[in-house]
Structure formats: structure tokens, C-alpha cells
Amino acid sequence: MASWNLANTQHHLLICNGSSCKKEGAEELTQSIRDEIMAKDLDSYIHTSRTLCNGRCQDKCVLISYPDGHWYKEMTSDDAPRFIDSLMNGNTIADRISHTYNGKGFVRSEGTPAGKEKNAELVKKVSKNL
């Protein structure tokens, strides 16, 4: 059982390994991201976790980055070097961002399909309180 010291962690990456993302290369993406982190000796700064489905299968492969609050779409193993470089430089790979947290919710990027609303009435009610 692992117990990471997170004191110096700057980024937490949630890499989707649900079935749709897996069919699209999530395992290779996960390994490439982890290899890149190891190669650059960034283990103390970037933590990764595999997840099950994140509910945005049409965006496969999905990768979520916290605390910056970006959801990435269509990620492949080839994206790992530039993605890790972007994190360390305080940038993003803008062409792969599907959603960004703005303090109230996740704003969908242009060109990213909306997806279905889970509970439109609840969303309206919560939005009024923000």
C-alpha cells in the first residue's frame, strides 16, 4: 500500500481508464504521462491517479488536472511530453482543453460537445445560488 507525501505536489492528474478511454489508448497515455514525469524527475510535483469513467466518453481519452481545473480531451500518449512541459511552465495545451473551472462551474470550450443535462431543474436552482 502506497502513502505518498503530497507536501510538494503542485498538480494532480486524474487519467481516465474507463472502458471507452481504454479502447482509445488510456493505458498508453497513462504510461507515457508517468514515464515523462519519471524522466524529468517530477514525482514530487505531479501526482497521477487512474480513474474509472468520468462521464465524458465522447472526449476520450480524458485527463483532468487539478487544482488548475482543466479537463482535457482527445489525449494520446504522443501528447505526454508537451502536456507535462505545459504544466511545469504554467501553461496549458489549449487545443485539448474541453472544460475549465471558472469558480462557479466548468466552462465548455468551443468545439466540445455539450453532452446531456443530468437534471436541468437542479442545475437552474444551483446556478441561481452561485
Residues near ligand FES (CB under 6 A) are 16, 18-21, 53-57, 60, 62
Residue carrying the nine cell digits 514530487? 44
Query: What dihedral do alpha carbons 79, 83, 85, 87 form, nearest 10°?
Result: -170
Least separation in angstroms between residue 124's CB and ligand FES is 25
Least separation in angstroms between residue 22's CB and ligand FES is 7
In angstroms, the CA 66 to CA 68 distance is: 5
In angstroms, the CA 39 to CA 43 distance is: 9
Least separation in angstroms between residue 3's CB and ligand FES is 27
- Is 75 in a helix, a strand, or coil? coil
Question: Is the Cβ of residue 81 or residue 115 nearer to ligand FES in the bound state?
Answer: 115
Least separation in angstroms between residue 113's CB and ligand FES is 13
Residue with CB nearest ligand FES?
18
Question: Is the Cβ of residue 56 or residue 70 nearer to ligand FES in the bound state?
Answer: 56
Question: Is the Cβ of residue 18 or residue 77 nearer to ligand FES in the bound state?
Answer: 18
Query: What dihedral do alpha carbons 40, 81, 25, 63 form, nearest 10°?
Result: 90
Using an 8 Å Cβ cutoff, are 119 and 127 in contact?
no
